[in-house]
Structure 1
Amino acid sequence: FGVGLLRPAPGTWGSAAAVALGVLFCELGGAWLVPVGTVLATLLGFWAVARAFAGLADKDPSEIVIDEVAGQWLAMSFTVIPLWWHGVSILAAWPGFVAPFLLFRLFDIWKPWLVGRADRRGDAVGVMLDDLWAGLFAGVVSVLLAGLYHGVLAQ
Structure 2
Amino acid sequence: MTHLIATFFYAGHLRPAPGTWGSLAALPAAWVIYVIAGPWGLLIGAVASYFIGVWATEVETRGKDDHDPSEIVIDEVCGQWIALLPVAFGAWFAASNILALWPGWIAAFVLFRLFDITKWGPIGWADRMKGPTGVMLDDVIAGIFAAIGVMILAAIAHLL
How would you bin the TM-score normalised by the shorter chain? over 0.9
**Aligned residue for 1:17?**
25
How far apart are 1:96 and its partner, in Å?
2.2
**Aligned residue for 1:34?**
42
Structure 1, unaligned runs of 5 or more: none
How far apart are 1:28 and its partner, in Å?
4.1
Q: TM-score, normalised by structure 2?
A: 0.91
Task: Give yes or no for the alignment of 1:142 onto 2:142.
Answer: no
Identity of aligned residues (%): 47
Post-superposition Cα deviations, 1:76-134, rounded to whole Å, max 9, x if no partner, equal 11221121111011111111211111100000001000000011113211110100000
**Aligned residue for 1:65?**
73
Give the secondary-structure state (helix, strand or coil) at the position aligned to 1:68: helix
Task: Report runs of 4+ in structure 1 exceeding 3 Å deviation.
Answer: none
Contact 1:80 1:97 in 2 (8 A): no
After superposition, the CA RMSD in angstroms is: 1.1
Q: Distance in 2 between matches of 1:25 and 1:85?
A: 17
Single out whichever of 139-148 and 119-128 deviates more from structure 2: 119-128
Task: Give yes or no for the alignment of 1:117 onto 2:92.
Answer: no
Structure 2, unaligned runs of 5 or more: 1-8
**Matching of residues 27-106 of structure 1 within 5 Å:** 27-106=35-114
Structure with higher helix content: 2
Q: Distance in 2 between matches of 1:103 and 1:79?
A: 13
Q: TM-score, normalised by structure 1?
A: 0.93
Aligned residues: 152
